Structure 1
Amino acid sequence: MSQDNRARLKQWLASGQIRLQPLSYPQRELWEATPLPAGNVSNNICALIQVRGLLTPPGSEAALQKVVDRQEVLRLSILPGKEQPMQMIRRSAAPALRFHELSSAQGQPEAIEELAREIASQPFEMVQGPLYRAEVFRRSADEHVLVLVIHHAIADGWTLGVFVQDLFASYMQGVRGNHNALPPVPLTYSQWGAAERAFWQPAVLAPRLEFWQTHLAGAPRLWNTAVTGTLQRCVTQVSAELGRAVRELARCNGATLFSTLLTAFQITLSKWTGADDIVVGTPVANRNTQAARETMGYCSGIVPLRGQIDRTRSFADSLRTVHQTTVESFAHAIPFAELVRALGVATPDGHNPLFEVRFALQNHPIPDVAVPGLSLQLRMRSTGTARFNLACEINEEGDAMEVAWLFQPNQFTLTDIQQVGRMYLDVLAGVCHSPEILTAALMTTLR
């Protein structure tokens, strides 16, 4: 840090304009484990919010200001340090909002997507902040798109739903002539982080670490290709008919939808890679109280799930095992940074410590909110999962599902990912038709 910035920091601290807090567990893990250089944008989360109704620049700015006042992560930046980076929380901050008028050509969906990519490709100033930007594009008098780009250090998938709800409530207050502040959150992000640090004492960690030391012993790596930080996206669709069949398969076998989708994914990955011992990481919300559910911030953790594929067993039998293993793994979840530290895993630069693949069923609330005259509809575009070679993220859309594949283009081609996407759909269709099919027989049908 420059001498000028040091002097400015001392002045801010003395005046009470900012306060310093330790990084939360998820922030620390991101800071320590992200194998990416400063200024890389692959930890940027990008979402598009479709807004229908009359939206004015003054009203939008006033609404966002109330959300900034309520949610401290929108006033947060990161003060680096060799040993102990800190959260730097400002007492107040102006909203980072810009308004743009679009021509009819610029307002086409493809053009909006390109604008969103450009906005998401700009790095954040981690010390100066803010660690988000919001840009509104007016397509017509009553149709707008809000592009929200927010750094993973202050956000997870759940955060986006909270943002939409708060912004909607704030804007509607203004429409009704209510200029009061939003009610304070019952638990700020820094308070959530402090509670986590207080809970995870050695006596709590020890028995859980014992489970992981046994469960992950001898687990192989799937690939040795370093992460570049640049992800590409490919989407496949699970039809409503197949989606209903998968849910019925889960119900009949006493399993969850997640476990059923995961079992099929492990079989797909085994066929595709030739590996029979696979570890994937899956996110957990870490919001176990209503108070935590109302705050924006990076709260989610990640849990390793190990699957050992036995080709002599039926899918239904494998599903029961995967379901039981998943329940046990979630029950022993601990902060990922603590797990990596305790296991003493040697991690080469550009590699994730324990696994190369992320698998997620996105079940956090991303609400579509509406009243007569105004509606907001949020859609994810990038989830800040750059630390993996491959990610499979499934979003439920009624009975159907969207399967988003995020991949490292230095390792996989689009054709590769389209192939694995088709293979996954074939596995799901095959096991719904014949749950007792042996895994070996199922694999022979895949191309």
Structure 2
Amino acid sequence: MAAQRRFWRAELDGTLDLALPVPPSAARPEAEAQMLTFRIDATESEAVRGLARRRGTTEFTVLLAVCASVLRSATGQHDFAAGVPVSRRGSELLASAVGCLVDTVCVRFREPDLGWERQLLATREAATAALSHQDVPFGEVVRLVNPPRTRRDPLYQFLFVYQDTPAVSPALAVSTVPVPMPAPAGVCEVVTEVWPQPDGSTLVDVTHRTDRVTDEFPPCFRDLFLAAVRDAARSAALPGEIESTNGM
């Protein structure tokens, strides 16, 4: 654990708040959550999966790299962090526990947009490093790094959630249907959830806090996201391989 604590102190030291567009102070006095949903069609989703296969990585990594590229374009900022949820069921005892055992790791991005080959490699390395040091709870990470305290969430203001857990129906004479809902307003300033669909397409939900982020940001994020997915998909046809590491 000592090595993991040293990693987080070094990795997140000097992390800057994400320069998201802020509404006028008097426009939204109370926090609300609003969600925008859009779809990546089956053809483009398959191209994303194909890019992941060709580059020896995963769809999670490709879409996290897409999000980082979008945030760079939308904010003009190249050094920032994003949160990624992780399960806290790493032992047999916790695996059978009842409750929501979830924490967050912070993935830091420092690279400008220099082509998908380099972006994917940098994203995979950053995500692999963060996930391999996830034993330190995020609350302790905040205390270790000790960032300046502001009204904003410490260390990250953007959360990326890849919802690929298979649906499980209870052993009853009923059926279940997953119903995406906006993330609660207090979770993060912007939450992007990705939902692979049975038809091969992908749903993307973007939830923002209306008191912290303008209503114009989600449509801008959507347009940049879809353009980045198409750009990444085109790169899938280009030669070049990235050696697979740790399944990322």
Given the two structures, how large is their TM-score scaled by the length of structure 2?
0.83
| Cα 1:428–1:376 shift into 2, 3 Å | same
**AA partner of residue 219 (structure 1):** T
Judging by fraction of residues, say which structure has more strand.
1
Are 2:137 and 1:341 aligned? no
Larger Rg: 1
Give the counterpart of 2:73 among 271, 274, 299: 271
Are 2:106 and 1:304 aligned? yes
Give the counterpart of 1:387 among 187, 212, 227: 187
Distance 1:362 1:351 in 2: 25
Give yes or no for contact 1:316–1:436 (8 Å, CA) kept in 2.
Answer: no
In the alignment, which residue of structure 1 is the partner of 2:55? 253
Give yes or no for contact 2:197–2:203 (8 Å, CA) kept in 1.
Answer: yes
Secondary structure of the 2:100 match is coil
| Cα 1:408–1:356 shift into 2, 3 Å | same
C-alpha displacement of 1:314? 1.8
Are 2:176 and 1:376 aligned? yes
Judging by fraction of residues, say which structure has more helix.
1
C-alpha displacement of 1:318? 1.5
Are 2:216 and 1:420 aligned? no
Q: Which runs of 4+ in 1 moved over 6 A?
A: none
Secondary structure of the 2:56 match is coil
C-alpha displacement of 1:378? 2.7
In the alignment, which residue of structure 1 is the partner of 2:127? 326
In the alignment, which residue of structure 2 is the partner of 1:402? 203
Q: CA RMSD in A?
A: 2.4
Structure 1 unaligned spans of 5+: 1-203, 438-447
C-alpha displacement of 1:231? 1.1
Distance 2:93 2:43 in 1: 37
Q: How does 1:220-239 map to 2 (within 5 A)?
A: 220-223=16-19, 229-239=31-41
**AA partner of residue 308 (structure 1):** R
**AA partner of residue 104 (structure 2):** I
C-alpha displacement of 1:405? 0.4
Identity of aligned residues (%): 21
| Cα 1:370–1:433 shift into 2, 3 Å | farther
Distance 1:274 1:242 in 2: 26
**AA partner of residue 374 (structure 1):** V
Secondary structure of the 1:251 match is helix
In the alignment, which residue of structure 2 is the partner of 1:314? 115
In the alignment, which residue of structure 1 is the partner of 2:13? 217
| Cα 1:436–1:319 shift into 2, 3 Å | farther
Distance 1:218 1:419 in 2: 28
**AA partner of residue 240 (structure 1):** A
CA displacement, residues 240-263 of structure 1 (integer Å, 9 cap, x when unaligned): 111111011011101111111011
Q: How does 1:14-163 map to 2 (within 5 A)?
A: none
In the alignment, which residue of structure 1 is the partner of 2:94? 292
CA displacement, residues 5-38 of structure 1 (integer Å, 9 cap, x when unaligned): xxxxxxxxxxxxxxxxxxxxxxxxxxxxxxxxxx
Give yes or no for contact 1:315–1:435 (8 Å, CA) kept in 2.
Answer: no
**AA partner of residue 181 (structure 2):** R
C-alpha displacement of 1:228? 5.1
Given the two structures, how large is their TM-score scaled by the length of structure 1?
0.48
**AA partner of residue 395 (structure 1):** W
C-alpha displacement of 1:212? 1.2
| Cα 1:217–1:435 shift into 2, 3 Å | farther
Give yes or no for contact 1:369–1:377 (8 Å, CA) kept in 2.
Answer: no
Count of equivalent residues:
230
Secondary structure of the 1:352 match is coil
Give yes or no for contact 1:357–1:388 (8 Å, CA) kept in 2.
Answer: yes
